[in-house]
Structures are given as structure tokens and as C-alpha cells.
Structure 1
């Protein structure tokens, strides 16, 4: 290889690595984890109890008929205990698994959210509202998936 081509190949390799290198790579099993393997965390701050909060859970690309599950944590960064009381969804294709045990100040709870893609195609946007004890408004999750 000529020196110019070697440098070009090296730069291209570095760019691919810096950009994640596998933009089209499918995650199996589906994972919503941060670098280092730690679960994604949704932080409840003091304002949440009066104003509510929103976040987005992205399932990425899925095949029609696939059922995927992501896990995340709800962390309580307030000075009061809370607990997940219930949840509402705008589609039967989403479901939540959670503990109703209290989440003490400084503690967190793991939550699993499932998306059933049977009968769907294209970009999907669903909502799940999580009602927490002491909160006047819910934690509203937007659930996204691209179904092939």
C-alpha cells in the first residue's frame, strides 16, 4: 500500500471507531444500557412531584412479530420516599414489570418495559404513564421502535 492509502485507511478506521463503527448493528437482546454495562437511569428530582417528567425509551429496529424488553432504573433523588402505584399505556403492545416496594431517598428500582411488535410496521411511537406515590403528574415515557 502506498503511504497516502495507508494514512487514508487509518483515518477511515479511526472515524468508524469514533462513530460507533456499527451504526446498523442490531442489539440482541435489546438493551438500554449505558457504557460499562450500567442500566440507564431515570432520575426523579424534587420538581417531579409537582410537574411530572418525560423520557424516551428507544427499542431501535425490530422485526414484525418480535417481542423485545428493555430494562432501566428509576432513581429517587428527592428527600421523600415514593413507589410505583400503577401505569397506563395507549397500546396493549407495551407492558411494564416493576416492584411496588417503596423507593427510598437515594435508592433506585429496576423496571422492565416490553414492546410486542406483532401486527405493526414502520415507525411506532407509544406512551406509558407511570404514576408514583406523592406525584401530582406522571412520569411519561415515549416508547419508540422501527418495525421492519
Structure 2
């Protein structure tokens, strides 16, 4: 085999391996998100403290009576430290677990959100408002689930 053919075969093999790994990683990340294992990140910048922000947390399909939990991170991309002060919810079926310690600029705080589907059926849309220290408006989360 010539040097050129060997180099071509090696490059083709590396390309196929790299593409296979990328597809596998994408699939694994998707699977982890569905299982609640991947950390989604909600980024808050300087403008958040005056305007607030919104985002959606999707639980996907659930069976009635199931209690599901997803974890995500709030990343502080502002120039000031902040902390989660409190949260309000429009339904007792959602709960939030978080550390109350401040987090510095550039740091992130892990948060767990739970949805209790007992007594519900069909498409569910709930809201959770997270109040951060220094912010005038909340981080409003829309919590979505399809309960069978």
C-alpha cells in the first residue's frame, strides 16, 4: 500500500471514528436529559437583575401518580454575586431544592425541581418564580409535563 493510500485510509478511519463518537455523545446526552441526569444550564447576565428572565423545564411524558425530578444549574454570568432567596409556585405539585449560599460571578448553582403528577391528567403547565438576591424581577420557569 502506498504512503498516500495509507494516509487516506488512516484519515478515513479517524473521521468515521470521530463521527461515531459525536453521534454517540449526542445520543447519550439526550438520554441523560430524559432520565434527569444531564445538567441544563440557565444563564443569567447583568440584564437579568433589572428585567428578569423566563425559561421552560420540560418533564415530558409521565404516568399519573409519578413524581419526577430534574436537575439544572443557574449560571451567574453577571459581574455581581447573587443567591437564590426564595421561590413561589402556582401549584403544590412543584418543589425546588437548592443551596442558599451565594454564588460568585462565573459560578453556577445546582437546583433540583420536582413535579408530582398525582391527581393530574393531560398536558400540565405550572409556574415557579425564583427570586435572586439583587434582582427586581424573578426568573420565571414554566414547568411542562404530559401526564397519561
With the length of structure 1 as denominator, give the TM-score of the two structures.
0.77
Q: Which residue is equivalent to 2:107?
A: 107
1:73 to 1:28, Cα distance in 2 relative to 1, 3 A? closer
Whether the 8 Å contact between 1:76 and 1:108 is mirrored in structure 2 is: yes
Q: Which runs of 5+ in 2 are unaligned?
A: 1-22
Whether the 8 Å contact between 1:65 and 1:118 is mirrored in structure 2 is: yes
1:50 alignment partner, SS class: helix
Whether the 8 Å contact between 1:29 and 1:68 is mirrored in structure 2 is: no
1:71 to 1:78, Cα distance in 2 relative to 1, 3 A? same
1:28 to 1:110, Cα distance in 2 relative to 1, 3 A? closer
Matches within 5 A, 1:8-23: none
C-alpha deviations, 1:6-65, integer Å up to 9, x for none? xxxxxxxxxxx8xx99xxxx98973262xxxxx110001110000000000000000000
Q: Which residue is equivalent to 2:124?
A: 124
1:49 alignment partner, SS class: helix
- Give the distance between the partners of 1:28 and 1:62, measured in 2 at CA: 14
Q: Does 1:52 align with 2:52?
A: yes
Q: Which residue is equivalent to 1:95?
A: 95
Whether the 8 Å contact between 1:32 and 1:40 is mirrored in structure 2 is: no
Q: Which residue is equivalent to 1:11?
A: none
With the length of structure 2 as denominator, give the TM-score of the two structures.
0.77
Higher Cα Rg, which structure? 2
1:125 alignment partner, SS class: strand
Q: Which runs of 5+ in 1 are unaligned?
A: 1-16, 34-38
Consecutive aligned runs of 4 or more in structure 1 exceeding 4 Å deviation: 26-29
RMSD of the TM alignment (CA)? 2.3
